[in-house]
Chains A and B, each alone.
Chain A
Amino acid sequence: MKSIRPGFLPIRALRAPISTSRPALCRFQNTSRSSIVHPKQQSTRNHTTSSVSADEVSHFSGLASSWWDPMGPSRILHLMNPLRHEFIASCLAESPPPSSDPSSNTSANLHYLDIGCGGGIFAESLARTVPLDSSAPAPTPTRAASMTAIDPTTSLIQIAKDHARRDPTVDTHLRTGKFRYLNTTLEDVLASKSEPESPTSSPHTTHPQFDVVTLFEVIEHIDPKTTTYSAFLANCLRAVKPGGWLVGSTIARTFPSFILNQVIAEAPWPIGVVPRGTHEWSKFVNPPELHAWAQEALMRAADTGVTRAGPSVLEDMRWKCVGTIYVPGLGWKIVPGSEDWGNYFWAVKKGV
């Protein structure tokens, strides 16, 4: 893989950020406009009549039927999905979340929250690894015990639910509540009260908290005019249990990614694959920026009901970042050191 230099990045690699992030872009703008800026108003809003514009609804309706089409516009996102599992597994292997039973590092006892789940590509695949028998050893290193997936777009949640019913295992988890799709926003989740007996309840907070919170292809679509990255990340980290991980993926704002995403991918037909203006390269996020925002967000997130605050919360923090590249014919490959070329995975571990 060392021979792959930015200059050799194949044209199709560029499609990855584009085709994958279009849905997330619109999805997130809804969230940021309506909920992050006006959390009070958001909490009472009925999502079926949300501020989602007619244009975006029709855009999603068009996209919806092809969301799960393996040859459709989300194909590159589907192909990347197994690497998300591998990246989470590597985070957990490096530092598993604390557990009441220290010997339980092989059992399926981790609770997941997927923010901006879209059509459910990641959420459903993770839910499939939840064992039907809770006492059985975890079948995969991701050790999922439950998955809660949220998205503010009603039509996407419906697509995700319909698709999940096509797998009897996942369907069972939907019925037993181990797998939940919620048409809601992160802010609503944080505003809700966790059930006292629920595994996601936390001794320090009233809202539910999770061992692993995922944020795949979402952060680059934040609208900086209405919110800040660190404010959004702080909300994400509030949903993470102490010692848990916040895991995401995004695209770097560098010269190779500019060439790939703006110049080639948005070129006129037949070279380009997306309409001009689909992506805003300037909104892409570089790993050092994300690292800094995550630190700021950790301090912000520590403002409620914890024993420590300020820089001391960073003491147990861990930061992990690794690049990934799409090679036509071979698929996505994790390539350490390629973080600046385009797509990369990142993770923040919240201190205990």
Chain B
Amino acid sequence: MMRPISRGLLRPYVCRSCRNGIAASRRRFGTQSDQTPEIYDVVCVGGGPAGLGLLAALRASPITSKLKVALVETQDLNKARDWKLDSSQFSNRVSSLTPSTVAFLQRIGAWEHLDIERVQDYQEMQVWDGETGSRISFDWSSETPAFEDLRTVATMTENANLVRGLLGRIAASGDENLTLFSNHTVASIENGSDLKPNGPDLSAWPILSVKPTGPGADTKSPSRIAARLLVGADGINSPVRSFADIPTQGWDYNRHGIVATLALGDLDPLVSNSNIHTAYQRFLPTLGGPIALLPLPNNHATLVWSTRPEHAAYLKSLPTPAFLAMINAAFRLEMTDLAYMMGMSASESISHEDELSWRTVASFPLRFRHAAQYISPRVALVGDAAHVIHPLAGQGLNLGMADVAALSRTIEYAVSHGMDVGDLLTLERYSSERYLPNAKIGGACDLLHKMYSVPGQGPITWARSLGLDVIDRLPFVKSFLMKNAEGY
């Protein structure tokens, strides 16, 4: 986890001429043009949940709603806005939202734009070790008074539902001072020039050239836009990050995540009437990662199975019944676990293989990345552009939304105190709020992955099982962990 000391920290110790050299080398991502750019306060590259979340938050606050903002997204945002699926169908890109993410979405008025019929809370989470069978269950029952609803551990939603809701929130804020470059791509980012004597000095401002990606482009684009603050919400291979010359450290896990939506068999009416829903996760050290089943509405569930690439390829090649058999086997591979699963199956249906049916299967590589810094003059990185973590705790999207919440607060503070929103002194407020929490969560997920990748009955297996059992028996430790998980 050693990282090079960030350039910002080194600056006081680097002589001035060298510093200029650093600054000069950093900005280059395209070609030059003399045309006067259109000036925006915030330009966000990337229209995923993080980028749209930032825009929605800025539009929602009375302090920042007057800022001139733009968003550049390669995909067609109109398609995302018109996304529609039958209530019995679910997209397989599903995320788990922590209560603090849901609270943020409610605060910015985006939650009401989500289709609530398609989101599912769960109040309990069971995690167990496939090797030893030691288990832990997370629920709020010990913290919740009788006759009160259990607190939610997390809320499952399709990413498409979230994106559509955020777009709805942004549309509800009107189109004044707002430009959505849908179906547009960033052709180049470069430093501006000094528009002496009739204009400002934009030589330290990032200037983007955006161009339509195809005939579907619907916004008339000025060819060049200048950004007081350029936000990179543009994913793991962030062009904004390369423009800012921010290095990133990390490694590939050599694992793939398989995602699929499963339709569960009819539940016992007694169970389906209750509002308690449970997420299950079983660590499978010999297969390289955990398998998790998370609840969706209408007796559906989403599967996330992290495993080695060869297993992933094999699983994807299987016909439906065989794939379902594998899922069921994975949840009860060993005798002790089978017994445990059998014990649960009286009240839960997931262990009956003929009651599951799968719809679509997809997979993606699992990686760890952390940018050396989140900020640079007039540049801020959020979400996957800043950090990519192992999905075993379902925290990736939540970290991105926490970034966005912090960045929008920072921009609010700057606007109300006469600060330049792109200035390093402004942005360091954002970065100091988010860097350590993200590193902590990313590191914890990495550690969990590594601990649960050790097969057999060695000391690590023994230690992790002891740890899990001990935590499960110490209510205050567990509740501390849950409160921590809730916060991010």
Contact = CB atoms under 8 A, between A and B. Distances in A.
Interface stretch (A70-78, A96-104, A208-216, A302-310): A70-78
Contacts of B205: 166
Nearest to B62: A139
B237 interface: no
Nearest to B205: A166
B358 interface: no
Contact of A139 (B16, B415, B423): B415
Contact of A71 (B12, B66, B200, B204): B12
A278 interface: no
Contacts of A79: 425
B319 interface: no
A86 B416 CA distance: 9
A140 B424 CA distance: 21
A167 B39 CA distance: 10
A85 B416 CA distance: 9
B417 A166 contact: no
B199 A171 contact: yes
Contacts of B63: 139
Interface string B423-452: 111001000000000000000000000000
B473 interface: no
Contact of B417 (A69, A86, A127, A172): A86
A82 interface: yes
A82 B200 contact: no
B8 interface: yes
Contact of A85 (B8, B226, B417): B417
Interface size class, chain B: 20 to 34
B343 to A, nearest CB: 50
B423 A70 contact: yes
Nearest to B413: A82
A168 B425 contact: no
A27 interface: no
A82 B201 CA distance: 24
A153 interface: no
Given A65-B16, A82-B413, A129 B418 contact: yes
Interface in A91-143: 124-129, 139-140, 142
A162 interface: yes
A61 B199 CA distance: 26
B419 interface: yes
A71 B11 contact: yes
Interface in A305-334: none
B420 interface: yes
B202 interface: yes
Contacts of A38: none
A243 B225 CA distance: 44
A168 B202 contact: yes
Nearest to A79: B425
Interface residues of A, number: 28
Contacts of B413: 82
Contacts of A127: 418
B259 to A, nearest CB: 41
A70 B428 contact: yes
Contact of A125 (B200, B202, B417): B417
Nearest to B20: A65
Contacts of A40: none
A204 interface: no
Contacts of A193: none
Contacts of A59: none
B24 to A, nearest CB: 15
B200 A128 contact: no
Most buried by B among A71, A78, A127: A71
A45 B35 CA distance: 43
A128 B419 CA distance: 8
A71 B419 contact: no
Contacts of B199: 168, 171
A134 B379 CA distance: 30
A317 B417 CA distance: 27
Interface in B393-431: 413, 415-420, 423-425, 428
Given A65-B16, A71-B8, A140 B418 contact: yes
9 contacts: A70-B428, A79-B425, A82-B418, A166-B201, A167-B200, A167-B420, A168-B39, A171-B199, A172-B200
Interface of B: 8, 11-12, 16, 39, 63, 66, 194, 199-205, 226, 228, 413, 415-420, 423-425, 428
Given A124-B418, A140-B417, 4 more contacts: A66-B16, A70-B423, A71-B8, A171-B199
